Amino acid sequence: MKVFTKLGIAFLVMTFTTSVIFAQNTNSVRNELIKNYKQSGMEVQASQLMNQVVTSKTYKPVKLEIKGATAYAFVAYDPSSINPIGPAYFDTDIPGSITSLGPNGAGDFIAGGSWADGVWYGSEYGTGAIYTLDPSTGAMELVSSTKMG
């Protein structure tokens, strides 16, 4: 039962982490949608998207003291093709300098992740499959294969 509790907590943390990680890319995704709508002649949809409020009125920034730490991430997409899709890490003092740990070992990218008992867990986008990721080699091992939705 402890394993299921830990996995449940890990899943909740991954869901929260995913929203925090991908919140950074909201504007770039939104801008790309606006561009695509305009190019497709869908001016009404582009206008509606441009007029939406992007940030919550209750937004309160949180400052985390993580200077000098190593942070782990999963590169889901890199338009410059410098970083391959897969697990990576970076120094929090230099977040733009990402080091790949290895290739993607899942069918799709890892959309959320968390740590539990010193183990890095990740949830695959689309399927919800749970993987462990080795922080030194990037090797990925399937833990649970579940279909979401």
Distance CA 116, CA 10 (A): 7
pLDDT tens for each residue of 58-86 = 667 667 677 778 889 999 988 888 888 99
**SS3 assignment, position 44:** helix
Cβ-Cβ contacts under 8 Å for 40 (sequence gap 6 or more):
none
The pLDDT tens digits of the residues spanning 79-107 come to 888 888 999 999 988 888 899 999 998 88
